[in-house]
Amino acid sequence: MKNLIIIGARGFGCDIYDLALACQGHRTEYQIKGFLDEKKDSLDEFENYPPILSSYEDYIIKKNDVFICAFGDVRSKKKCVETMLKKGADFISLIHPSAHIGTNAKIGRGSIVLNNAFLGAHCIIEDFVLIQLSTVVGHNVEVGNYSRVDCHVVCIGGVILRDEVTIHTSAIINHGVVVGKGATVGAGSFVIRKVKENITVIGNPAINSKFK
């Protein structure tokens, strides 16, 4: 039996705790050991959670430990994961039972797929990706490492999200669009053309936020 440790004990970490309880692997493949968080009192006013063991920087990995990173910000998540990997950490993925996983869909390690997400046929979800509630990732979509796709997003077939992309709530990414590494798409935006690296686009149709 593996001991699952959730990195991050703030609000999203609590959601991931609930996800871990709901996943089929709970009590068959892993039990939840606790959290890692630098703010050791972040759960003091709440009941029914396992303990905060340490910060992730200070934690000494034990035999049978496995990890999931509950950081929303993609850059903070990447920094945390890279630190833990250097120490030899083993990450697992968590997929809610209500999620639809299409034929030949692939999900990398350390990724999170939440309630009622739809992953279409032949889509590729790389490592340490977050797919939020009720999001549609269409057929043949590629989502790069460390990317975050928020609630009620629609990525139509053939979309490519490069590494470290953030797509905020209710955005629509049109068929075949490529979103460059490190780019951000604002909530409710409709993206109809390629998005360059490390920029933010917003609106309908979405354009560079600097030009709004």
- For the chain, the distance separating the N- and C-terminal CA atoms, rounded to the nearest angstrom, is 53
What is the pLDDT confidence band of residue 64, given thresholds at 50, 70 and 90?
A: very high
pLDDT at 208: 85
Q: Which CATH architecture has domain 95-203?
A: 3 Solenoid (2.160)
CATH number of 2-92: 3.40.50.20
Task: Using the predicted structure, report yes or no on whether residue 209 has a pLDDT greater than 90.
Answer: no
User: Of 21, 60, 53, 48, nearest to 37 (Cα)?
Assistant: 53
Task: Using the predicted structure, report yes or no on whether residue 27 has a pLDDT greater than 60.
Answer: yes
Is pTM beyond 0.75? Reply is yes
What is the pLDDT confidence band of residue 11, given thresholds at 50, 70 and 90?
A: very high
What 161-164 contacts at long range (C-beta under 8 Å, 24+ apart), as own/partner pairs, is 162/197, 163/126, 164/74, 164/75, 164/78
pLDDT at 212: 54
Check residue 192 and give left, alpha or beta (phi > 0: left; psi -120 to 50: alpha): alpha
Ranking 79-83, 158-162, 194-198, 204-208 by mean pLDDT, the lowest is 204-208
The reply to whether 95-203 shares the fold of 2-92 is: no
Mean pLDDT estimate for the chain: 96
pLDDT digits (tens, 9 = 90+) for 72-91: 999 999 999 999 999 999 99
Q: Are 183 and 198 in contact (CB under 8 A)?
A: yes
Q: What is the mean pLDDT of residues 167-193?
A: 98
| Domain definitions of the chain by residue range | 2-92, 95-203
